[in-house]
Amino acid sequence: MTDSVKIMPNVLSGPHVVVLAYDGLCTFEFGIAYEVFGLPRPEMGEGWYRYSVCGVEPGPLRAAGGLTVSVDHGLDVLGEADLVVVPGWRAIDAPVPDALVDALRAAHERGARIMSLCSGVAVLAASGLLDGRKATTHWRYVAAIAERYPDIRFDADVLYMDEGSLLTAAGSAAGIDLCLHVVRGDFGTEAANSVARRLVLPPHREGGQAQFIHAPVPQAREGVRLGPLIEWMRQRLNEEQPISLLAAKAGMSQRTFQRRFESTTGQSVGEWLLMERLRHARQLLERPGGISLDDIAEASGFGTLATMRHHFRKRLGTSPGAYRRTFAG
């Protein structure tokens, strides 16, 4: 026996987000869109997102997990959308109805943004809207869909891609990152941080961050050298760590060390150190108490508050002070 879930739209005055529902609905991605754009958030005021669900086919619609979804709107509601969200499609090679393609093209031509989550990129690809554009999807699907749509420039290594009016996310959880990215653009950093905190998530993962690390556990031969060294580096983030010193400790040439470090961690030495320093700074900022921002900058290895502030702005879209106010709470 299945459960019946009826999604009711919020009545607000902000951008109108319309999420597609279809037979075979991917419930996780659908839930992401609802959680970020559809969940009541009275603290955001009346200008927060309006939310609707658009049935691609007549309902009731079967959804993954034994659910049945009933919706109030058909494709006509796309004519009112400011942002259309396409959850993961029922299969990466499943046909896309002509009526949906036409409705998406019309919405995009009218000025709506179109966003796909995970395999939802198959719908955007079928519409032709991504031709000549950059896009991403789950790394497992990139080769198959790129072969079918050679005019799209797929990148299998990023969490999400923002091409202005067309946005694509990688694997399922990367859809959260993209949704928060949209909130940040529409309502600012503080609003995105507030939503992230309610989701119990970091406020920002950069879109260009790798989807996954190819070799998360060092191979046995390298683990003897790099495993302890990486821990040594992590314990000394406040110290200078030149490549020459690290390579010498690993017993490798500088070129070999950099190549094997990146193969092991998925990041260059400099990028890894920066992300670890940001992580450590965030941990210190989240602690209650009166640690000064200058002391946090020094303890995290940034040296000065100005340098730490620069990297927070560039990588997290916020300032250390704003981060503390949001998360030290």
In a domain, 213, yes or no: no
Q: In the prediction, which pLDDT does 292 show?
A: 93
**Is residue 150 located within the same domain as residue 52?**
yes
Q: In the prediction, which pLDDT does 153 show?
A: 94
In a domain, 183, yes or no: yes
Mean pLDDT value across the chain:
87
**Is residue 306 located within the same domain as residue 262?**
no
Q: How confident is the model at residue 171 (pLDDT cuts 50, 70, 90)?
A: confident
Average pLDDT for 5-25:
78
**Is residue 130 located within the same domain as residue 148?**
yes
Alpha helices, DSSP H, located in the chain: 27-33, 98-110, 121-127, 142-148, 174-187, 189-198, 220-234, 243-250, 254-265, 269-286, 293-299, 305-311, 320-327
In a domain, 48, yes or no: yes
**Is residue 29 located within the same domain as residue 115?**
yes
Q: In the prediction, which pLDDT does 210 show?
A: 54
In a domain, 73, yes or no: yes
- Following DSSP, what letter does each residue of 28-69 receive, concatenated? HHHHHHIIIIIS--GGG-TTSPEEEEEESSSS-EEETTTEEE
In a domain, 118, yes or no: yes
Domain limits for position 299: 271-327
**Is residue 49 located within the same domain as residue 82?**
yes
Residue 272 scores a pLDDT above 60: yes
Q: Provide the whole-model pTM.
A: 0.67
**Is residue 160 located within the same domain as residue 34?**
yes
In a domain, 207, yes or no: no
- Percent of the chain exceeding pLDDT 90 equals 60
Q: In the prediction, which pLDDT does 98 show?
A: 96
Cα(132)–Cα(151) distance, rounded to whole angstroms? 5
**Is residue 129 located within the same domain as residue 257?**
no
**Is residue 57 located within the same domain as residue 122?**
yes
If one counts the domains in the chain, the total is 3
**Is residue 17 located within the same domain as residue 101?**
yes
Residue 151 scores a pLDDT above 50: yes
**Residue labelled with tokens 């490549």:** 243
**Is residue 105 located within the same domain as residue 25?**
yes
Residue 190 scores a pLDDT above 70: yes
**Is residue 170 located within the same domain as residue 192?**
yes
Q: In the prediction, which pLDDT does 329 show?
A: 54
CATH of the domain at 193: 3.40.50.880
Alpha helices, DSSP H, located in 287-319: 293-299, 305-311
> Structure tokens of 247?
């390579």
Cis peptide before 60 (omega within 30 of 0): yes
Cα(54)–Cα(73) distance, rounded to whole angstroms? 5
In a domain, 208, yes or no: no
Q: In the prediction, which pLDDT does 4 show?
A: 46
**Is residue 13 located within the same domain as residue 129?**
yes
Residues 52-83: tens digit of each pLDDT: 999 999 878 998 888 998 888 999 999 999 99
In a domain, 211, yes or no: no
Q: How confident is the model at residue 214 (pLDDT cuts 50, 70, 90)?
A: very low
